[in-house]
Amino acid sequence: MPSFRRAAVPIATVVCLLAAGCSAGAEEVSVGTTCEEYLSRSGEERQDAAIRISSEVDGVSSPGSPMWALSLDSACGSNPSMSIGEYFSNGSE
């Protein structure tokens, strides 16, 4: 039994470090993010990103509106290779 405990502690530590490293490495959603990457994020993160980015891109009607989250989710579902910047530049006017 003692040898199991000695092995379990380092393994648990490695698993925890790997999990923390993966989540810490996630970049913020930006205009260069693809729709596929965008849709892999949590709903809250997508909503925050859509609202933020709609305020950063020139020529967007109603910048900062929460409606952008639903609209972007829908558009990205149809075109996963499109970038967020392409959506706001082409389809948001």
What confidence tier does 90 reach under pLDDT thresholds 50, 70, 90?
confident
pTM of this prediction?
0.69
3-class DSSP assignment, residue 58: coil
Question: Does residue 79 lie within any of the structural domains?
Answer: yes
Question: Does residue 62 lie within any of the structural domains?
Answer: yes
**Into how many domains does the chain fold?**
1
Question: Does residue 5 lie within any of the structural domains?
Answer: no
- Crossing angle of helices 43-56 and 67-78, in 10° steps, is 100
Taking alpha carbons only, the member of 63, 91, 64, 61 closest to residue 76 is: 91
Across the chain, mean pLDDT equals 80
Question: Does residue 85 lie within any of the structural domains?
Answer: yes
Give the domain extent around 39. 28-90
Question: Does residue 16 lie within any of the structural domains?
Answer: no
Backbone angles phi and psi of 31, in degrees to 5: -65, -25
Taking alpha carbons only, the member of 42, 52, 45, 40 closest to residue 76 is: 40
Question: Does residue 11 lie within any of the structural domains?
Answer: no
Question: Does residue 59 lie within any of the structural domains?
Answer: yes
